[in-house]
Structure 1
Amino acid sequence: MKFNEMTYTRPDIDALLARCRELAAKAAAAPDGDALVRLYYEQSEAFAEYNTAANLANIHYTCDTRDAYWKAEQDFFDANGPAVTNASVEISRAFLANPHVDVLTAKFGTTCVAGMKNAVLSMDDRTVELQQQFNALVSRYQQIYGGALVELDGKQLTIPQLGPYKEDLDPAVRRAAYEAEAGYFDAHRAELDELYGEIVKNLNAQARVMGYHDYSELSYVRMNRIGYGPEEIRKFRDQVANDVVPQLQKVMALRAKRTGIARPTFTDLPIMFKDGNPKPIPGYKARMDAARTMYHELSPETAEFIDFMQDNELFDVESRPGKMSGGYMTSLPSYKAPFIFANWNNTSGDVDVLTHECGHAFEGYVAERDPEVPADLECPGMESAEIHSMAMEFLTAPWHHLLFGRDTDKYALLHAEDSFVFLAYGCEVDEFQHIMYQNPDLTPDERNAEWLKLEKKYRPWIDFAGLPFYGRGAGWQRQLHIYECPFYYIDYCLSTMAALQFFLLSLTDHKDAWERYLRLVRRAGTASYTELLETAGLKVPFEEGSIKGIAQQMTDWLESHQV
């Protein structure tokens, strides 16, 4: 069914909550393991209609944040979502209380019961009002960001539409694009500062209600991190700071030599090549045709997937006024249909987001069609879900010529370099958030000062050269995740470590790399992050020294592939 034929009906919340109470009672009373397994499948399907409606509303709202009808529907789910989540938690609590609960681990793997325990530990009826307030705060941020229009080149442009100007070969044009963006954020400075302060206090209040010191502790439970915690993440960040950042300084020196920009400033960083960055082929249809060919040739599984996605018009990827910034994949369970949202701006990032979100969507498509996988376990934890997307960016490389033509080699270098360099920024975002939630009384200026300290630690090559907004240390406010889904960003780093290993494996044996990837995908959400890496034969980056060798291999490849 095509996306525009999918019908939306606001769900009956009272009926759903009554159904949840019924399922909780049945879970508590299930007489044996077989009955509990059957019930797990049943409860897993019970939320399909609600989740489909919620995701349809969110898709329509983010496609046009100015639409009053869809804004009202989004507000409805913001207000009612916490009650539904808490009702779901009560079902999990009932499963955990059943003496036969260990059967679920035997049937569905290590993440099933562990995930229910995290769900119980992360939610509390006493936080419902605070959760509703948090949802409203996030919607306010989305409106500020999604409604951004700036004047440049005699035009009114959205933030994503500034992308090509930021990559212009004329440094004055690049500077003007960044200043236009900075002007918008500085014009909303007081509101953004106040909004973030309210978000930090709100989430910390939720954490304290539930017995946690602050939200940095609660976040590990809410993010359903299984098998590792803050100490492992700290060790990971330390490895990036000690073993990756020194290599990145060499990489940035190579970039400066390649571009001929002797002393690059922040606004020069998007320039990767002296004659301009790689450009994808123009036109929605041309790109979609190329994507269809690419996925048809990659594997039978991806051929079936891309036909389903394109034939059912499950993409909205072109930027326009009122559309929320960023990109995402979401699922419509009742239709077993993934949906991909993005903001193309005619830069190489358009291909990044296409292959990235297709990685998420492919995993969802495969899982939704496996009758053995309950809906609750179709997607793994967020750090693992990002492996599907980031690895897909690399594993489609043999077909990138369809999207870049003569710029293919340039894109290969740009993409590998950017992915490697990203590790530093991702760790910076994560450490910043730990500082913010552990020190909630910092003033806006003090928050920005902490960000600038971390810039020196993780990205010492950056010179802001007096640039507004960024230069005063407020650039973190442009990162949607910091406002919308705190502590998610480190997941991109953990998945990047897997993706870089898939990249290095594919250089010597692409078929083997793809088969490893498929093994990982087919485990859906039934395995933890470390188990998934082991399934694919990859190194786990929490182990001391595990990153150093990968960093050296990446640097060696980048040094030998200068274009």
Structure 2
Amino acid sequence: MSIDPQAAFPDFVYQRPDLKKSETAFREALARFEAAPDPAAAAAAMEDIDAIRAHVATQYNICYIRFSVDTRDEFYREEKDWFDQQLPATEAWRADYYRALIASPHRQALEEQYGEQLFLGAELSIKTFRPEIIEDLQAENAGTSEYTQLRGGAQIEVNGETYNLSSITPKEQVADREARHQASKAKWDWYLEHQEKIEGIYDRLVKLRHKMAQTLGYDNFVALGYARMNRTDYGPEAVANFRRQVKEFIVPIAARLAEAQRQRIGVEKIRYYDTAFRFPDGNPTPVGGRDVLVDAARKLYDGLSEETGEFFRLLENRQLMDLEAKDGKAPGGYCTYVNDYGAPYIFSNFNGTSHDVDVLTHEFGHAFQVYSSRKLKPMEYAWPTYDAAEIHSMSMEFFAYPGVPDFFGDDAKKYFYSHLESAMRFLPYGCAIDEFQHRVYERPEMTPAERNATWLNIAAEYMPHVDYTDHPFLAQGGMWQSQLHLFGMPFYYIDYCLAQICAFQFWLKNEEDHAAAWSDYVRLCEAGGSMGFLKLVELAGLENPFEDGVMEKIAARVTERLDELG
């Protein structure tokens, strides 16, 4: 199949990969690697293996993007189902390759050439797969897709109008309290209506993951989940200590910010339909729709650096962004990478709120990073592990501050405040999601009702300042069921919290010396996944977010700035 490396996304060729043919080529390359007489021959075989794996990944990602853009598209829905069934078998390829890497007589020379991270990751990865779990992996993929399709097809009626889970959001942020109550109630009514189905999907996923963990020799899914996240330099104990510090230092600040919000908007108590409404005259709102925001982003990235300006134009010219919310489109936002075309792709759901700017700049950070490290070898190094990857995206939100006046006009100051405030208030929620996952997978036998009760207890510790009792679904502890990561990416969510502490540091450094901060950021992007999380943090000149005292110090400085803006 011919690949045009400059093609626009609509012209990307999709063809279901012939996995039997790919596996034959892979096995031949692996045999050459194992028989390689010297490191150069081994490296050449590794490049061939990368090319085969990258081609399969390319076709999967083209399919996934087109499925996400329209979950009703019958062709790509069927193709996505096919990948869900077939891709787990390719885990055996990777496991065999990683075992060969670890056992290679040329390992020392290859480590000197590529660095140790490939081998550390390989040692961890082979503990996450055996052929016996292929059917369970297929079922796991199917469950995640079922949840995505269910949410993507949501139809929410409010006052005679129909919304999806993305387009309902602006209605939850209007100044009229009763109007936002109606919108928010309608959204959570949809979850209540589909609660049994959602809880059934999650229950199957939890039990599947626990079964796979036991098959692989783990007590439960927690350790397997960490290994699947490729966490080579920290474990659950470090994360628990991070959550402890959030409870100690961030939760009181979040409570004070919530009280300030309550007083600002003039309500007796913050109800579930008040949480997203931050200012009495309305939340900061972008000055225009997609075209206006793209023009403002182009101006921002032209001014930020030569490389970001050129890269943004590449995204535009090759149509590598789908930004607006529409019927049938999967909710949320992401960035992925189409290997053979050397093309990052940004997916989001603009809905006329400040989140449009957040997600555009956030996903641009991911895209800029993977494009900066696209030529690194092996292919594992194109992306860092998820925890480090979120540093690039969340820090880019802060580097984008010079563009805020063009994005928001007279609402710029409100945006600066709400962005910082939301970042602080996100940390308790993110940690609540993470602690919930640990509890769930430590006790996989819990019933759905017990999981909901567990969420209520955890939320009371991290978010005591919000009253969810006004809606039956939320009152029984169902809020977690709206969090996609719990279904498709277990143990991912804490990565946003770790990265947020790092992003705050980039913001503070940038205010003191932009040139130095930007140089550190670009160096981090170019390193891709060639190091583990903590070494990348050190490379970027950042403090370790796990260390006692770091969070407390940063929280104090952010609070000072919020007081100034307030």
**TM-score with structure 2 setting the length:** 0.97
Aligned to 1:446: 450
1:159 counterpart SS class? coil
Does 1:212 find its partner at 2:218?
yes
In the alignment of these two chains, the number of paired residues is 560
User: What CA distance in whole angstroms lies between the structure 2 residues aligned with 1:107 and 1:251?
Assistant: 50
Does 1:312 find its partner at 2:307?
no
Q: Which amino acid aligns with 2:520?
A: R
Does 1:24 find its partner at 2:43?
no
Does 1:166 find its partner at 2:172?
yes
Aligned to 2:293: 287
User: What CA distance in whole angstroms lies between the structure 2 residues aligned with 1:307 and 1:389?
Assistant: 19
Deviation sequence 1:508-538 (CA, Å, 0-9, x none): 2222221111111111110111111111211
Q: Which amino acid aligns with 1:289?
A: D
2:490 counterpart SS class? coil
Task: Give how far 1:260 is off.
Answer: 3.0
Out of 48, 51, 74, the residue aligned to residue 54 of structure 2 is 48
Aligned to 1:429: 433
Q: Which amino acid aligns with 2:148?
A: Q
Task: Give how far 1:114 is off.
Answer: 0.7
Task: Give how far 1:303 is off.
Answer: 1.0
Deviation sequence 1:182-220 (CA, Å, 0-9, x none): 111111111111111100000111111100011111011
Q: Which amino acid aligns with 1:468?
A: P
Aligned to 2:4: none
User: What CA distance in whole angstroms lies between the structure 2 residues aligned with 1:284 and 1:544?
Assistant: 42
Task: Give how far 1:31 is off.
Answer: 2.3
User: What CA distance in whole angstroms lies between the structure 1 residues aligned with 2:440 and 2:389?
Assistant: 26
Deviation sequence 1:365-419 (CA, Å, 0-9, x none): 1112x3x433221111000011111000111101111111111111111111111
The alignment-based identity, stated in percent, is 38
User: What CA distance in whole angstroms lies between the structure 1 residues aligned with 2:469 and 2:213?
Assistant: 40
Aligned to 2:478: 474
User: What CA distance in whole angstroms lies between the structure 2 residues aligned with 1:342 and 1:295?
Assistant: 19
User: What CA distance in whole angstroms lies between the structure 1 residues aligned with 2:159 and 2:514?
Assistant: 44
Task: Give how far 1:35 is off.
Answer: 2.7
Aligned to 1:156: 162
The correspondence of residues 343-362 of structure 1 with structure 2, limited to 5 A, is 343-362=349-368
Task: Give how far 1:6 is off.
Answer: 1.1
Task: Give how far 1:320 is off.
Answer: 1.1
Cα pair distance change 1:87/1:227, threshold 3 Å: same
Task: Give how far 1:479 is off.
Answer: 0.3
Q: Which amino acid aligns with 1:81?
A: L
Out of 133, 153, 166, the residue aligned to residue 147 of structure 1 is 153
Moved more, 105-114 or 249-258: 249-258
Kindly indicate whether the alpha-carbon contact (under 8 Å) linking 1:281 and 1:403 is maintained by their aligned counterparts in 2. Answer: yes
**TM-score with structure 1 setting the length:** 0.97
User: What CA distance in whole angstroms lies between the structure 1 residues aligned with 2:405 and 2:377?
Assistant: 36
Q: Which amino acid aligns with 2:281?
A: D
The correspondence of residues 364-403 of structure 1 with structure 2, limited to 5 A, is 364-368=370-374, 370=375, 372-403=376-407
Aligned to 1:458: 462
1:38 counterpart SS class? helix
1:8 counterpart SS class? coil
The correspondence of residues 89-128 of structure 1 with structure 2, limited to 5 A, is 89-128=95-134
Deviation sequence 1:196-246 (CA, Å, 0-9, x none): 110000011111110001111101111000111111111111111112112
Cα pair distance change 1:248/1:110, threshold 3 Å: farther
Task: Give how far 1:262 is off.
Answer: 4.2
1:192 counterpart SS class? helix
Moved more, 301-310 or 373-382: 373-382
Out of 9, 22, 30, the residue aligned to residue 3 of structure 1 is 9
Aligned to 2:563: 559
1:400 counterpart SS class? helix
Kindly indicate whether the alpha-carbon contact (under 8 Å) linking 1:251 and 1:555 is maintained by their aligned counterparts in 2. Answer: no
Moved more, 111-120 or 245-254: 245-254
Q: Which runs of 5 or more structure 2 residues have no equivalent in the other structure?
A: 1-6
Moved more, 270-279 or 499-508: 499-508
Aligned to 2:138: 132
Task: Give how far 1:311 is off.
Answer: 0.7
Kindly indicate whether the alpha-carbon contact (under 8 Å) linking 2:185 and 2:273 is maintained by their aligned counterparts in 1. Answer: no
Task: Give how far 1:142 is off.
Answer: 1.0
Kindly indicate whether the alpha-carbon contact (under 8 Å) linking 2:366 and 2:390 is maintained by their aligned counterparts in 1. Answer: yes
User: What CA distance in whole angstroms lies between the structure 2 residues aligned with 1:263 and 1:157?
Assistant: 28
The correspondence of residues 524-535 of structure 1 with structure 2, limited to 5 A, is 524-535=528-539
1:317 counterpart SS class? strand
Moved more, 175-184 or 388-397: 175-184
Aligned to 2:408: 404
- Runs (4 or more) in structure 1 with deviation over 3 Å come to none
Q: Which runs of 5 or more structure 1 residues have no equivalent in the other structure?
A: none
Does 1:516 find its partner at 2:541?
no
Cα pair distance change 1:107/1:507, threshold 3 Å: same
